[in-house]
Chains A and B, each alone.
Chain A
Amino acid sequence: MDVFDFFKDPAWRKAVVFTAFGKSFWGFAGAAVAFGVLCWLIKGPEEVWAALDEDLGLLVDLMPRVVVALSIAALIWVMMPREKMSALVGTESGMRGLIIATIAGTVTPGGPSSAYALLAAVAVTGADRGALVAYITAWATLGLQRILIWDVPFMGAEFAMLRFAICIPLPIIAGLIARRLPFTLQIKGAET
């Protein structure tokens, strides 16, 4: 059996085409046409061509970055021991607990479904609230998969790196604030 067999799987191919050209794709295509027409009517054809010319230059610049960023994201996705990191969230206290939660959030992959599912599972065990907040804040602001897939393609690598570097200490600060809030935390599904 070949490792590339999934490329021949019709169900997988269909799913990929559906992801690429599903409803949301046509929504964006429609928006592009609608704003193009609006631009033509209000600003005239010259501005429409000028905008498309800028877009073309931008896309030529973007494509190599997209390919490199997505390759890195794919390698990290396969190689990063993210389950090991996630298993540690909430098991340590003090500053160490916040740092572990921040690293775990950073390596937790993309979508909110996996991050929030883990958060909920850890929260019902009565884990430290600082670690919970640090974890989800790190996932949102530092998530490697999110930065490689969204920040780099849209904003460029320099901007993405700057934003990442700036945000590194912030989940820990959010966690420290959470520990000091005078709230009684009631987690859904947790026994009280």
Chain B
Amino acid sequence: MSTGLLVLVILLVILAGLAVQQRQDAGPIARRFVEQFAMLVPRMLFALIAAGFIAKLIPKEAIASLLGDDAGLLALPVAVAAGLIVPAGPVIAFAIAAVFAKSGASVPALIAFITSWSIFAAHRILIYEVPLLGASFLRMRIISAMAVPFMAGVIAMIVGLVTAFGQPLLTQ
């Protein structure tokens, strides 16, 4: 068993123990589990199969030279830009991350990509942020958070010098 899975299992055991101690109803927990499983798993299966084929089709060298270890710091702006322009929900965004990972993108590049997408997801801005809070808030938030994915990527590069922990499952 890998370290990551082991930590998750330990966390699960602790939480389950707490739930028993607090006499939580199992009903709502089971219900939430089934709902999330239904939302995730069927789409994830086909998203990953599609990602597997796409990874075979696109030239690996191109991805590796832009987002791989050899790209150095250049990988970060490329990854952040890619995250900015994915105007879609999590299944598509993570399927793209899977393609990048299979094609040799580095861990810092993947972290910068996912962080950038999670902060700037265009569909979310259009559907929720602008209607609910307005353009003035959007401008302030974008400028404030612009550096965040870059910082995440740089920290990941520094961490990568010390440890190889955090390789995505796809490339192992």
B8 touches A157 (CB 8 A): yes
Q: Could you say which residues of chain B place their CB within 8 Å of the CB of A173? A: 147-148, 151
In angstroms, how far is the closest chain B Cβ from the Cβ of A125? 13
From known contacts A153-B44, A159-B169, infer whether A52 and B137 are also in contact, taking CB-CB under 8 Å.
no
Neighbour of A74 across the interface among B29, B52, B57, CB < 8 A: B29
Check: B54 CB closer than 8 A to any chain A CB.
yes
In angstroms, how far is the closest chain A Cβ from the Cβ of B48? 6
Check: A87 CB closer than 8 A to any chain B CB.
no
The answer for the CA separation of A172 and B54 in the assembled complex, in Å, is 37
Dominant secondary structure of chain B at its interface with chain A: helix
How many chain B residues sit at the interface, stated as a range, is: 35 or more
B159 touches A162 (CB 8 A): yes
B46 touches A163 (CB 8 A): no
A155 touches B97 (CB 8 A): yes
A55 touches B169 (CB 8 A): no
Interface size counted on chain A using CB atoms at 8 A:
96
B128 touches A113 (CB 8 A): yes
Give residues of chain A (10-28) contacting chain B, Cβ–Cβ below 8 Å.
Answer: 12, 16-17, 19-21, 24-25, 28
Neighbour of B156 across the interface among A36, A79, A166, CB < 8 A: A166
Nearest CB in chain A to that of B132: its residue: A120
Q: Could you say which residues of chain B place their CB within 8 Å of the CB of A150? A: 40, 90, 94
Check: B91 CB closer than 8 A to any chain A CB.
yes
The answer for the CA separation of A47 and B26 in the assembled complex, in Å, is 45
In angstroms, how far is the closest chain A Cβ from the Cβ of B146? 9
Neighbour of A170 across the interface among B8, B110, B133, B148, CB < 8 A: B148
B132 touches A72 (CB 8 A): no
Q: Could you say which residues of chain B place their CB within 8 Å of the CB of A183? A: 136, 139-140
From known contacts A174-B148, A181-B143, infer whether A155 and B52 are also in contact, taking CB-CB under 8 Å.
no
In angstroms, how far is the closest chain A Cβ from the Cβ of B139? 7
In angstroms, how far is the closest chain B Cβ from the Cβ of A89? 14
A186 touches B44 (CB 8 A): no
Give residues of chain A (124-149) contacting chain B, Cβ–Cβ below 8 Å.
Answer: 129, 132-133, 136-137, 140-141, 146, 149
Q: Could you say which residues of chain A place their CB within 8 Å of the CB of B9? A: 68
Check: A85 CB closer than 8 A to any chain B CB.
no
B46 touches A31 (CB 8 A): yes
Question: Residues of A at under 8 Å CB distance from B?
Answer: 2-7, 12, 16-17, 19-21, 24-25, 28-29, 31-32, 35-36, 38-39, 42-43, 47-48, 50-52, 54-55, 58-59, 61-62, 64-66, 68-79, 112-113, 116-117, 119-120, 123, 129, 132-133, 136-137, 140-141, 146, 149-163, 166-167, 170-171, 173-175, 177-178, 181, 183-188
| 7 A–B contacts from the bound complex (CB under 8 Å) | A51-B52, A66-B40, A151-B94, A154-B98, A155-B114, A155-B170, A163-B115
Nearest first, the 9 A-B pairs at minimum CB distance are: A157-B4, A3-B27, A162-B166, A156-B169, A35-B53, A188-B134, A158-B4, A20-B38, A178-B144
Other A-B pairs, 20, CB within 8 Å; known A20-B38, A116-B132:
A20-B39, A25-B46, A31-B47, A35-B54, A42-B57, A79-B22, A153-B40, A154-B44, A154-B97, A157-B2, A157-B4, A158-B166, A160-B4, A170-B148, A173-B151, A177-B147, A178-B141, A183-B136, A183-B140, A188-B133
